Amino acid sequence: MRHRVAISKLGKRPAHRRAMLRNMVTSLLRHERIRTTAPKAKEARRHAERMITLGKRGDLHARRLAARFINDETVLKKLFDEIAGRFQERRGGYTRILRTGPRHGDASEMAILELVTQSPGRQKPKNRKTRERLAEFHAGEEGGKPKRSRKTKPAEGGADGAAEAEGEQASPAT
C-alpha cells in the first residue's frame, strides 16, 4: 500500500532527483513548455506550481525562497515579472500535462508539461468529432442555440398555457 507516500522517487538518489527537478522547473519557466516522461512531468508540476504561487506573492521572502530552487536569475526575474502577473487572477492549476504516447526507444509514456495560457476547452482540437462536440457544449455560452433542460421546457398549450401558469403562481402572492 502507498499510504502517506508524498513523492515519486523516479529511480534516482535524492540529490540527483532534486537537481533534475530544479533543472526541469527552470526550463519550464524559461520555455513555458517541456517534453519529458509522464512521471517526471507529474512531479515537476508540483514544484512549478509552487514557484508560480511564490511569484504571485511577490515579496522579498518569496523571491528568496524561489531563488533557492530556480537556478537562473533571468528565469527568476521572468517568473516574478511576467508569469506571476499572467496568473494573478487564477487560483491554481497553472500547468497542464498533455500525454503524447509511448517513446519509441523504451515505450516510456511521454508527456508535454506546459504553462496554461487559455482554458483547455477553448483550444481547437484536431479531431473533427471532438470539435463538433465542443461546439455543441459551448453553443449556449456563445449565444448560439441554448441547451434546454427539463425545467425550461415551455408549458403545454403554447404561450397561453405559460401565461396561465404564471397567473396561477402570481395569484397566491397577492
Residue 122, pLDDT score: 53
Q: What is the pTM of this model?
A: 0.66
Q: What share of the chain is helix, strand, coil (3-state, %, to 5)?
A: 55, 10, 35
pLDDT in the model for residue 132: 75
> pLDDT tens string for the chain (174 positions)?
889 988 899 999 999 999 999 999 999 999 999 999 999 999 999 999 999 999 999 999 999 999 999 999 999 999 999 999 999 999 999 999 999 999 999 999 999 999 998 554 455 656 776 777 767 766 755 555 555 556 655 555 555 555 555 555 555 555
81: which DSSP letter? I
From 112, 90, 100, select the one nearest 24 (Cα to Cα). Answer: 112
What pLDDT is attached to residue 169?
56
DSSP states along 14-67? HHHHHHHHHHHHHHHHHHSEEEEEHHHHHHHHHHHHHHHHHHHH-SHHHHHHHH
Confirm or reject CATH 3.40.50.920 for domain 14-117, answering yes or no. no
Predicted local distance difference test score (pLDDT) of residue 135:
74
Domain boundaries, the chain: 14-117, 118-148
